């Protein structure tokens, strides 16, 4: 056979490369520049394409898919507006270290730079919001670039990778060469195996601790389900307390008595005080984000800090640590467990007993308490009841961003990783609903719930159409307080209660909106009817919007006001007057 | 002053793939994260492997410098990052072209100073010179400063290139 006869078009080649990367689903939206790819997709049945209604949703759906499976999520969008619409999703994936490969169409190579129709400098625009990006300039480089992109997206600290594909490259012909595995990248070789000397030092420090705390994050999720098992094993071996970041929820079973709950701005009293008073801080796969540390100068001032991270640039970025360990979280935990077993160190039982007594005293403050009356539903109560009815099922939770997100993190419990998908770093309103679609595609029979606010859900509400098309039984559980609740809360606390533009006027009738898209809509305002509503939602086989009218004035506590230290928490509405927010803190977000 | 807060200048050599966009990646990293660039020099240095060497002079507290290196190191097309300032003795050089216009005493004085600084005359007209001067940034700056009163017209500087002393690579 002559090479011309065996050669395939760039678009066909791309599809082959995706199949070789074990891609099953692509979330996308067609357009002029990617028509050859859509033609190739049409001619095969290995790859499933999910047609979203906005490119941002395609990326969030791919993120939901990736985070609930551990695989790379794949996005396909056209040039120009297709690519620019994807930017928010890409930034979100970058901030939360989600492996995504985003294929963007581009005008033909000879038109690049000519301000052609639907042209945008996609590699230029996405350079700061991707882990890496490529402009493929010839069909010869296409397959190799795709395989390299998947390697980069999933290796080390995962992240989004863009491949910009000019239309002529997609139409030119070339032979497909299957990738060599494993890929040997010439420059990108992240360190996964931690330095054994440092592991030894870490184990020594951990063994000698008097007031230790584990502080673990999304890095443990990204290290695979085994890492969470190892974490649980190691924490049990030591008997030490553990707190999770927002991204790390599920890496340690929430029902375990060693679990202190989430830490940070809306974390528990016991978790934050344990961070402040501890003498050894064991950070595994978390990045000392400003939502976690509060006032840096007073962050965990008495502790010796161990930090395990696969990304060297996360170490000593915000907080100076005493023992940095670059490596994979799972690998580090495995090494620590091995050494711990070999050494059988004697921990300081007396000191630990006193430490746990102190922690129990902090727990006694019951910082998540709220008062549920007969008249209106408290958002916390709605989530507690939701949890009550889902806890024995196979459930996945996504959220939007705001008060409802923090309450969901506080009141829903996760026993295993990959079950909790939320926008942590970027804080993207509109994330949860499309992410839930991605989760549902990956887990067709699971119960997938997007805990939403009425403001956030409006940001990607068009996806109701996608849900209808693919009959995705996603449940949208709206805590409707008719405000952008977190904005309103800050205006109340910091801006004298001047609720500038935070009231949601002209909200749709969510029940009828659901019905307009062939979904079911439920509404509930009375505490007495909440249980039945939740049960009905779960019983319905298809997509459901539940509009739960909740207390409009409820604020999310505990709260560390911005610029304050961990010990300076507001525990409830009555606590506020005593601790006015400093000028310095007001500047912070 | 607390040494952790003292700002110092560091010369960093970065070996990268010579590919489109690599400079934008490096510069974007500096602007996006608010780091300083005092000098930046780039050119291909290994044609066979298609590698370029970027020499960056930057300044910051020890924590910031450590961040800059870690951030550079995680860029996908970056092969190696070396902090020459920290890694021991190294040499730094810069080249400048300096155009001076003038006649009479000023012209003679310019030529005499050029000789002191071991600058070469690489273009001459009856009323102008272009000098080529090499040396540390400090020397180049001093020479340019001296030329100001002697009819300085234009300056082109390369920025710093640097290398470790001794036989080791980098």
Summarised one tens digit per residue, pLDDT across range A449-461 is 999 999 999 999 9
Domain edge (last residue) among A120, A139, A174: A174
Q: Are residues A205 and A104 in the same domain?
A: no
CATH number at residue A217: 3.40.50.1220
How confident is the model at residue A4, as a pLDDT? 47
Identify the band that residue A2 occupies on the pLDDT scale cut at 50, 70 and 90.
Answer: very low
Between CA A107 and CA A76 the distance in angstroms is: 15
Inter-chain CB pairs, A–B, below 8 Å: 43
Report the gap between the CA of B24 and the closest CA in chain A (Å). Answer: 8
DSSP output for A242-268: EEE-GGGTTSS-TTSTTEEEE-STT--
Identify the band that residue A576 occupies on the pLDDT scale cut at 50, 70 and 90.
Answer: low
Q: Are residues A385 and A272 in the same domain?
A: no
B28 chain-A contacts, CB cut-off 8 A: 127-128
Q: Which two tokens stand for residue A84?
A: 């620019």
Q: Does A124 touch chain B (CB under 8 A)?
A: yes
Q: Are residues A299 and A212 in the same domain?
A: yes
Please state, rounded to an integer, the average pLDDT across all residues of chain A.
95
Q: Which residue of A128, A141, A151 to mutate against B (max B Cβ within 10 Å)?
A: A128
Between CA A176 and CA A490 the distance in angstroms is: 56
Between CA A470 and CA B5 the distance in angstroms is: 57
Determine whether the interchain pair A316/B66 forms a contact, defined as Cβ–Cβ distance below 8 Å: yes
Between CA A395 and CA A385 the distance in angstroms is: 14
CATH 3.30.70.1150, chain B: domain bounds: 90-163
pLDDT digits (tens, 9 = 90+) for A92-114: 999 999 999 999 999 999 999 99
In this predicted structure, the answer to whether residue A583 has a pLDDT above a threshold of 80 is no
How confident is the model at residue A577, as a pLDDT? 54
Report the gap between the CA of A128 and the closest CA in chain B (Å). Answer: 7
How confident is the model at residue A578, as a pLDDT? 57
The values of phi and psi at residue A23, to 5°, are -75, 135
Between CA A292 and CA A119 the distance in angstroms is: 40
Question: Which residue of B17, B70, B76 is in closest CB contact with A312?
Answer: B70
Q: Are residues A342 and A396 in the same domain?
A: no
B4 chain-A contacts, CB cut-off 8 A: 320
Between CA A458 and CA A452 the distance in angstroms is: 10
DSSP E strand boundaries for A172-319: 173-174, 212-216, 242-244, 259-262, 280-284, 304-309
Report the gap between the CA of A73 and the closest CA in chain B (Å). Answer: 20
A583 in a domain, yes or no?
Answer: no
Supply angle C-alpha B138, B143, B148, rounded to 5. 125
Determine whether the interchain pair A128/B32 forms a contact, defined as Cβ–Cβ distance below 8 Å: yes
In this predicted structure, the answer to whether residue A579 has a pLDDT above a threshold of 70 is no
A311 chain-B contacts, CB cut-off 8 A: 74
A221 in a domain, yes or no?
Answer: yes
Q: Does A132 touch chain B (CB under 8 A)?
A: yes
How confident is the model at residue A439, as a pLDDT? 98
pLDDT digits (tens, 9 = 90+) for A522-541: 999 999 999 999 999 999 99
Determine whether the interchain pair B70/A135 forms a contact, defined as Cβ–Cβ distance below 8 Å: no
Q: State CA A97 to chain mean position distance.
A: 8
Report the gap between the CA of A417 and the closest CA in chain B (Å). Answer: 26
Between CA A220 and CA A383 the distance in angstroms is: 26
Distant-in-sequence, close-in-space partners of A130: CB < 8 Å, separation ≥ 6: A90, A94, A102, A159, A160, A161, A162
Determine whether the interchain pair A127/B79 forms a contact, defined as Cβ–Cβ distance below 8 Å: no
A179 in a domain, yes or no?
Answer: no
Q: Which residue has the higher pLDDT, B3 or A487?
A: A487
Between CA A433 and CA A456 the distance in angstroms is: 9
Q: Are residues A346 and A415 in the same domain?
A: no
Distances A237 to A223, A233, A253, A275 between C-alpha atoms, Å: 20, 6, 15, 20
Question: Which residue of A124, A186, A312 is in closest CB contact with B74?
Answer: A312
CATH number at residue A14: 3.40.50.970
Report the gap between the CA of A160 and the closest CA in chain B (Å). Answer: 13
Distant-in-sequence, close-in-space partners of A310: CB < 8 Å, separation ≥ 6: A156, A157, A190, A191, A192, A219, A222, A223, A285, A326, A327, A328, A329
Distant-in-sequence, close-in-space partners of A233: CB < 8 Å, separation ≥ 6: A333, A337
Q: Nearest chain B Cα to A135, which residue? A: B20
A409 in a domain, yes or no?
Answer: yes
| pLDDT, average across residues B110-121 | 98
Determine whether the interchain pair B77/A315 forms a contact, defined as Cβ–Cβ distance below 8 Å: no
Give the HSE-up count for residue B133: Cα atoms under 13 Å, Cβ half-sphere.
32
Question: Which residue of B25, B73, B79 is in closest CB contact with A312?
Answer: B73
Q: Nearest chain B Cα to A152, which residue? A: B76
Q: Are residues A140 and A229 in the same domain?
A: no
In this predicted structure, the answer to whether residue A3 has a pLDDT above a threshold of 90 is no
Q: Which residues of A are catalytic?
A: 55, 117-118, 167, 486
Report the gap between the CA of B53 and the closest CA in chain A (Å). Answer: 14
Please state, rounded to an integer, the average pLDDT across all residues of chain B.
96
DSSP output for A183-198: ---SS-----SPPHHH
Q: Are residues A155 and A15 in the same domain?
A: yes
Distances A404 to A410, A432, A463, A479, A485 between C-alpha atoms, Å: 10, 11, 20, 7, 8
CATH architecture of B90-163: 2-Layer Sandwich (3.30)
The count of structural domains within chain A is 3
Between CA A586 and CA A491 the distance in angstroms is: 11
Give the HSE-up count for residue B41: Cα atoms under 13 Å, Cβ half-sphere.
20
**CA-wise closest residue to B144 among B133, B136, B158:** B133
Identify the band that residue A181 occupies on the pLDDT scale cut at 50, 70 and 90.
Answer: confident
Distances B125 to B121, B128, B149 between C-alpha atoms, Å: 11, 5, 19
CATH 3.30.70.260, chain B: domain bounds: 3-83
Task: Find residues 152-191 of chain A whose CB sits inside 8 Å of chain B.
Answer: 152, 156-157, 186-188, 190
What CATH code is assigned to B3-83?
3.30.70.260
Q: Are residues A356 and A486 in the same domain?
A: no
Between CA A577 and CA A579 the distance in angstroms is: 6
Distant-in-sequence, close-in-space partners of A85: CB < 8 Å, separation ≥ 6: A54, A55, A56, A77
Dihedral sign, Cα of residue A129, residue B62, residue B86, residue A198: negative
Spell out which chain B residues touch chain A, with contact meaning CB-CB distance below 8 angstroms: 4, 17, 20-21, 24-25, 28, 32, 63, 66-67, 70-71, 73-79
Query: A405 is in which domain, residue-wise?
Result: 379-549
**CA-wise closest residue to A16 among A178, A196, A215, A239:** A178
B25 chain-A contacts, CB cut-off 8 A: 127
B76 chain-A contacts, CB cut-off 8 A: 131-132, 152, 187-188
Determine whether the interchain pair A317/B67 forms a contact, defined as Cβ–Cβ distance below 8 Å: yes
Q: Are residues A261 and A113 in the same domain?
A: no
Supply angle C-alpha B88, B93, B96, rounded to 5. 160
Determine whether the interchain pair A186/B79 forms a contact, defined as Cβ–Cβ distance below 8 Å: yes
Q: Are residues A329 and A476 in the same domain?
A: no
Q: Nearest chain B Cα to A316, which residue? A: B63
Q: Are residues A352 and A387 in the same domain?
A: no
Contact A327, A222 (CB under 8 A): no
Q: Are residues A110 and A150 in the same domain?
A: yes
A575 in a domain, yes or no?
Answer: no
Q: Does A503 touch chain B (CB under 8 A)?
A: no
The values of phi and psi at residue A88, to 5°, are -60, -45
How confident is the model at residue A1, as a pLDDT? 42
A312 chain-B contacts, CB cut-off 8 A: 70, 73-74
Between CA A431 and CA A425 the distance in angstroms is: 12
> What number of other Cβ atoms are within 10 A of residue A169's Cβ?
27
Omega before B63 within 30 of 0, i.e. cis:
no
Report the gap between the CA of A381 and the closest CA in chain B (Å). Answer: 42
Q: Which residue of B23, B74, B79 to mutate against A (max A Cβ within 10 Å)?
A: B74
């Amino acid at each position: 056979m002559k090479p011309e006869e065996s050669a395939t078009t760039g678009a066909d080649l791309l599809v082959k490369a995706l199949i070789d990367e074990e891609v099953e689903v692509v979330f996308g939206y067609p357009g002029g520049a990617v028509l050859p790819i859509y033609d190739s997709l049409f001619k095969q049945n290995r790859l499933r394409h999910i047609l979203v209604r906005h490119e941002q949703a395609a990326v969030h759906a791919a993120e939901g898919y990736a985070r609930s499976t551990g695989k790379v999520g794949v996005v396909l969008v056209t040039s120009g507006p297709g690519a620019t619409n994807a930017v928010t999703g890409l930034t979100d994936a970058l901030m939360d270290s989600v492996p995504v490969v985003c294929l963007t169409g581009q005008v033909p190579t000879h038109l690049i730079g000519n301000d052609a129709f639907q042209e945008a400098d996609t590699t230029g625009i996405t350079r700061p919001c991707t882990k890496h990006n490529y402009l493929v300039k010839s069909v010869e480089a296409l397959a190799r670039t795709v395989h390299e992109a998947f390697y980069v997206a999933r290796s080390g600290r995962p992240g989004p990778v863009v491949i910009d594909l000019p239309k002529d490259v997609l139409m030119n012909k070339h032979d497909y060469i299957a990738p060599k595995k494993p890929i040997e990248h010439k420059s990108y070789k992240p360190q996964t195996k931690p330095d054994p000397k440092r592991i030894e030092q870490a184990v020594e420090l951990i063994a000698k601790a008097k007031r230790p705390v584990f502080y673990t994050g999304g890095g443990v999720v990204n290290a695979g389900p085994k890492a969470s098992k190892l974490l649980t094993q190691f924490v049990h071996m030591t008997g030490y307390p553990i707190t999770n970041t927002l991204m790390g929820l599920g890496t340690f079973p929430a029902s375990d008595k060693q679990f202190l709950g989430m830490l940070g701005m809306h974390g528990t009293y016991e978790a934050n005080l344990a961070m402040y008073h501890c003498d050894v801080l064991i950070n595994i796969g978390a990045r000392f984000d400003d939502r976690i540390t509060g006032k840096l100068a007073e962050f965990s001032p008495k502790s010796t800090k161990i930090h395990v991270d696969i990304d060297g640039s996360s170490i000593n970025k915000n907080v100076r640590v005493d023992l940095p360990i670059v490596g994979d979280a799972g690998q580090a935990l495995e090494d620590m467990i091995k050494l711990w077993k070999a050494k059988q160190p004697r921990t300081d039982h007396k000191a630990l007993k006193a430490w746990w007594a102190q922690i129990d005293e902090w727990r006694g403050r019951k910082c998540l308490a709220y008062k549920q009356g007969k008249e209106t539903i408290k958002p916390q109560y709605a989530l507690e009841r939701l949890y009550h009815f889902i806890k024995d099922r196979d459930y996945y939770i996504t959220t939007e961003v705001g008060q409802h997100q923090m309450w969901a993190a506080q009141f829903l419990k996760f026993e295993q990783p990959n079950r909790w998908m939320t926008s942590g770093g970027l804080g993207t309103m509109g994330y949860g609903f499309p992410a839930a679609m991605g989760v549902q595609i990956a887990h067709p029979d699971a119960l997938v719930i997007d805990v939403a606010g009425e403001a956030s859900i409006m940001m990607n509400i068009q996806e109701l159409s996608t849900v209808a098309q693919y009959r995705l039984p996603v449940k949208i559980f709206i805590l409707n307080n008719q405000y952008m609740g977190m904005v309103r809360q800050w205006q109340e606390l910091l801006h004298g209660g001047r609720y500038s533009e935070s009231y949601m006027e002209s909200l749709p009738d969510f029940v009828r909106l659901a019905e307009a898209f062939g979904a079911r809509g439920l509404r509930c305002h009375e505490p007495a009817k909440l249980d039945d509503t939740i049960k009905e939602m779960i019983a319905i086989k298809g997509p459901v919007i539940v509009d739960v009218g909740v207390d409009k004035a409820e604020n999310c506590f505990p709260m560390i006001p911005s610029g304050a230290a961990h010990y300076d928490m507001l525990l409830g509405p009555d606590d506020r007057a005593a601790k006015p927010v400093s000028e310095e803190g007001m500047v912070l977000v | 002053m607390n040494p952790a807060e003292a700002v110092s200048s560091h010369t960093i050599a970065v070996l990268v793939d010579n590919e489109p966009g690599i400079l934008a990646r490096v510069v974007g990293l500096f602007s996006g994260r608010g780091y300083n660039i005092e000098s930046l020099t780039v050119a291909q240095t290994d044609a066979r492997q298609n590698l370029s060497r970027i020499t960056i002079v930057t300044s910051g507290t020890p924590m910031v410098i450590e961040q800059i290196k870690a951030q550079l190191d995680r860029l996908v097309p970056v092969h190696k990052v070396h902090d020459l300032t920290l890694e021991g003795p190294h040499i730094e050089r810069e080249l400048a072209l300096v155009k001076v216009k003038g006649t009479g005493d000023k012209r003679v004085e310019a030529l005499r100073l050029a000789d002191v600084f071991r600058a070469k005359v690489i273009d001459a007209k009856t009323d102008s010179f272009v000098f080529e001067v090499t040396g540390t940034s400090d020397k180049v700056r001093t020479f340019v400063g001296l030329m100001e009163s002697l009819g300085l017209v234009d300056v082109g500087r390369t920025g710093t290139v640097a290398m470790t002393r001794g036989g080791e690579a980098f």
